Structure 1
């Protein structure tokens, strides 16, 4: 027993793309994605992320992309070095000795890094070219015939679907149809700083960061530097500031901006401050979150995934993984409707209830981690957390 189901997805982020990829590659079910950007290369996709076995990697396996993923995965990117304000190493996890073993065994603790750009391209290339309509900005979603919904676009056009999926991020245009929740400022500002060619131009900084991640944390300030697949270093400068705390900073003037943030980290050792000093771009990003227990009453014909459903801080490494997991789980729910005749409302509601419990736990964990890591004793909190799993503490340097 099969039925026809028209599916419209708002947003070509990792969650929406995963949904489309699993629908196409595992179930041969068609859908349409609407993306406000004009092309997949319109903007940078940010740094790298660690893909977890039980969520992100699971989703890629369902999409038939795991072998392709392994071509881009950086197992050595799992290395982590933790500092306070000085260059004394407080803790290190050295992943290098485990790389070959983990590639062969598929160890369930694997969380290799992959650049967001490479991951997104992989997903886009896995679906038919006409799946994504680029340059289609969603203005609103409104009820249509029966239990159907229409997506209305900024150009005045609209399309009606049996199921509309909000995969359109923090400020979702779909979410108001099921929830009145609005993202709230978390109290932490994140400034993305990039060093384009550290190996050649700043070898000491490159050596300090290594192949993975560096954390330097103290007194409600954190520097979190991350090696990307192309060799660049992205540093996330985290500070507790009021929501309007950076309005007076002219980010168009790089040197003035650097001076401002270097003063904020005035008591850090110079090698750490070089993560700011040597950057060629600084971009401010506020960390907004939805309530960790965010949920809604199921409505036939509409649902959410990813940040649209459970916007969380980046301090658990779960946001992208959960979005991809949502996409795979929702694809399973849709397949039960299309291929097995299950009721649409019932199947999607099961997906939602599972997501509320699982992603709510991760959202709460991410908020707890942010409050621990961007705190008076952030480094101590980080070391204490990882010592639960690691026995090796690096010698002082």
Structure 2
């Protein structure tokens, strides 16, 4: 089968996260039709997670190409660039305050970024409630999307932007995510200025982190007076059950954490124990390094579907950079096949290089934070 021109191709993106939506926006900006499929029932069916910083050399580049950079700046929290390194006693060992007008990596809530991208798309671009089961069809296309409700869609290009457990990835790769040995336990805090003024003062307006080589925490302010704290531990993936606990046993988990962090000061322990509501277990996963695949003209991947790595500030930024480059490759190529080759020739080496740099990074977060504190 001859590869179609991008302007005449049926292009399907799986996943309405920042990467998938950025790709769709840039394609539409250039008059190329695209459909996004997402398993969520609607745009507001689940919490999109905490805050993230968009870098001026990747995430912001994609937003500029999408024509949305100024709208992003209107929503972004530039004060969120403040960073504090603490010791387990809560003493500030290093402190970065952003300069006036600094725009290198402002923060925005994930939900706000998604809403910004969704508003920019042509009505009806995203088809909600469409859970992809698999992708079938010959390598040279067309491909068939098979959904959980039994329906199918034929497409000339399927773009997997569907995250760690991508249903598109098996069409080109047998790789699956593996546990890194480090787990995050997420805790939420509400109404920081009134309910948690001491913690608000400790963390500042951006983020704060501390570690002792075995355990750590990363506190991050969100919009609307909220904060999320991620407790980092080197534990088995099933550590909650292994300690005779259940995920919903908030008091039991809290008592366990107090034992684990017993030598930390009461001031920093409040970042572990004064949360509002339950804890959320988030074991850190990663794809093999390097992760690559044989070229297929009708399937490609971006973001975590292509290169899941430890959460060291690159995930969404790389996904959006991937999205922008793939969209522009489609805009400037004669055929879909040419575009996919052009995109993968840049994305795969870049992601492999970054993944090698971050390999083992989940553990190094604890070591890095500890070494920062010893300076």
Task: Tell me, yes or no, whether TM beats 0.5.
Answer: yes
Partner residue of 1:179? 173
Partner residue of 1:291? 288
Deviation track 1:315-361 (CA, whole Å, cap 9, x = no partner) reads 2x000000011111110111123xxxx23223211211211121222
Partner residue of 2:27? 23
Deviation track 1:175-199 (CA, whole Å, cap 9, x = no partner) reads 1111111111000011110101121
- 1: distance between equivalents of 2:217 and 2:261? 9
Give the count of matched residue pairs.
Answer: 368
**8 Å contact from structure 2 (residues 210, 217) kept in 1:** yes
**8 Å contact from structure 1 (residues 82, 383) kept in 2:** no
**8 Å contact from structure 1 (residues 373, 382) kept in 2:** no
Answer yes or no: is 1:117 the counterpart of 2:111. Answer: yes
C-alpha displacement of 1:367: 3.3
C-alpha displacement of 1:368: 4.7
C-alpha displacement of 1:144: 5.4
Deviation track 1:159-214 (CA, whole Å, cap 9, x = no partner) reads 01110111111111111111111111000011110101121011101110110111
Tell which deviates more after alignment, 266-275 or 355-364.
355-364
C-alpha displacement of 1:146: 5.1
- 2: distance between equivalents of 1:299 and 1:329? 18
- 2: distance between equivalents of 1:252 and 1:152? 35
Tell which deviates more after alignment, 252-261 or 56-65.
252-261
- 2: distance between equivalents of 1:367 and 1:72? 33
Counting only pairs closer than 5 Å after superposition, residues 143-182 of structure 1 correspond to structure 2 as 143=137, 147-182=141-176
The TM-score normalised by the length of structure 2 is 0.94
Tell which deviates more after alignment, 171-180 or 357-366.
357-366
Find the partner of 2:63 among 60, 63, 82.
60
The SS at the match of 1:246 is: helix
Partner residue of 2:200? 206
Partner residue of 1:137? 131
**8 Å contact from structure 1 (residues 214, 224) kept in 2:** yes
Answer yes or no: is 1:302 the counterpart of 2:299. Answer: yes
Partner residue of 2:365? 373
**8 Å contact from structure 2 (residues 140, 297) kept in 1:** no
C-alpha displacement of 1:76: 1.1
Answer yes or no: is 1:271 the counterpart of 2:274. Answer: no
C-alpha displacement of 1:269: 0.9
RMSD: 1.7
C-alpha displacement of 1:18: 0.6
C-alpha displacement of 1:88: 1.9
**8 Å contact from structure 1 (residues 187, 287) kept in 2:** yes
The TM-score normalised by the length of structure 1 is 0.89
Change in 2 beyond 3 A, CA 1:330/1:2: closer
Find the partner of 2:346 among 351, 354, 366.
354
Where in structure 1 are there 5+ consecutive unaligned residues?
385-397
The SS at the match of 2:134 is: strand
